[in-house]
Structure 1
């Protein structure tokens, strides 16, 4: 890719400008587009490399900054089995709601549909990592006419107490969605995976779930938990879901 094919851009939202990393897929002006929902540490090279990997496979990718409403939106990744994110990152996670990310997604899709990046995606796919898993789920529910499917990759806080738990959104899905859960994940326990599986079984949409034999955060090469085989397989599954109806 050239420098113009991968860059940070500004997208206006009702709550102010939002940084978005954009990775185009060669010369295809109507390539499908993966919307990558970030983890708790915010926009950075780890996420940009995930976007570039999609672009290399012919799928444009965008990474919106879901923390753009906050005074600080980037945090150093925690790297260790028992190392927790710093308190400000946890607070940012707590304060970023699904309603906010839905606003951001609609603004981003409208900008792309208006050829803000000089291409108009033929379809979108929502994929979220860690914190982003539930935001990808919310996007797939909110925009079924534009988002053709989605995936949560080692997603966290998918099951919580109360009526606002993200897992309740599964019943409203109208597009395929896949949950790739990590083993022994403190952010998505085995009991939570069972709840997700039971809820998915009752959905009218094609909702699937697997427990990957890898630790939370397996997608990121710089992390202690990185698993290249798991990362490659889940990336390939996402690409297959994105392009399934395009051939």
Structure 2
């Protein structure tokens, strides 16, 4: 499956990205894949290829580009160590607001391609990327038709950049896939997000999977093949 390595100029620098396209001739609809805190690695590229195989042009940006070179990390090894010490410095370089600002540049890049069908695209995010996908779709509402968050954490907090605050701006249809017993997304937080979406008139579906936080990631110890396939 064709994979292009590109550099996208954002307001904070050059963001490394990969673009995975379906086999054959387009144009095709596009989707931006917002990575988890494990960063860009073979498993993340495999997930992008899975989406491309379904007929989508997939933009996979490295949202840790402000940090500089890193990894790739092996999640199983990271989880055996001090996760905060290893990933914390990278995560500190990005956030919902920065990812949303980056998305303006991502969309401008996609507009230069002749294999993209239409202006409206999709967004899908995993873990930290779930909130980034929601924030980005709320920041550029005229460009996103659908947005999905899988085991996204901290989706409704008191932070000024909390994803639930973008609900009034969302015009995309939203899917929230939550994990059972997820400390980063407890029931009270889920209720707060769903209330915000309902009050804003957003079309959304929220489901809780009988799986652990991170179940979608094929290189995580908690990977659940059946639940991931459903997702």
TM-score (ref. length: structure 1)? 0.85
Tell me whether 1:6 sits opposite 2:16 in the alignment. no
Partner of 2:92: 94
Partner of 1:54: 51
> In structure 1, which of residues 120, 134, 155 is the aligned counterpart of residue 152 of structure 2?
155
Partner of 1:184: 181
> In structure 2, which of residues 44, 68, 72 is the aligned counterpart of residue 71 of structure 1?
68
Q: Is this contact kept in 1: 2:30–2:116, CA < 8 A?
A: no
> In structure 2, which of residues 132, 136, 139 is the aligned counterpart of residue 139 of structure 1?
136
| Counterparts in 2 of 1:164 and 1:102: CA distance versus 1, 3 Å | closer
The 10-residue stretch of structure 1 (163-172 or 53-62) with the greater mean CA deviation from structure 2: 163-172
Task: Give the Å deviation of 1:148.
Answer: 0.9
1:181-220 correspondence runs (5 A): 181-220=178-217
Partner of 1:243: none
Tell me whether 1:23 sits opposite 2:16 in the alignment. no
Partner of 1:110: 108
Task: Give the Å deviation of 1:73.
Answer: 4.5
Deviations 1:94-114, CA, capped at 9 Å, x for gaps: 331222212221111111211
Task: Give the Å deviation of 1:86.
Answer: 4.1
Partner of 2:222: 225
Deviations 1:104-125, CA, capped at 9 Å, x for gaps: 211111112112xx52342310
CA distance in structure 2 between the aligned counterparts of 1:45 and 1:78, rounded to whole angstroms: 11
3-state secondary structure, aligned to 1:71: coil
Runs in 1 of length 4+ with deviation above 6 angstroms? none
3-state secondary structure, aligned to 2:104: helix
Once superposed, what is the RMSD of the aligned Cα atoms? 2.1
Tell me whether 1:173 sits opposite 2:170 in the alignment. yes
Q: Is this contact kept in 2: 1:77–1:85, CA < 8 A?
A: no
Task: Give the Å deviation of 1:72.
Answer: 4.2
Task: Give the Å deviation of 1:132.
Answer: 0.2
CA distance in structure 1 between the aligned counterparts of 2:180 and 2:4, rounded to whole angstroms: 34
3-state secondary structure, aligned to 1:92: helix
Partner of 1:242: none
> In structure 2, which of residues 30, 33, 37 is the aligned counterpart of residue 36 of structure 1?
33
Q: Is this contact kept in 2: 1:66–1:96, CA < 8 A?
A: yes
3-state secondary structure, aligned to 1:209: strand
CA distance in structure 2 between the aligned counterparts of 1:62 and 1:163, rounded to whole angstroms: 27
TM-score (ref. length: structure 2)? 0.90
CA distance in structure 2 between the aligned counterparts of 1:9 and 1:125, rounded to whole angstroms: 20
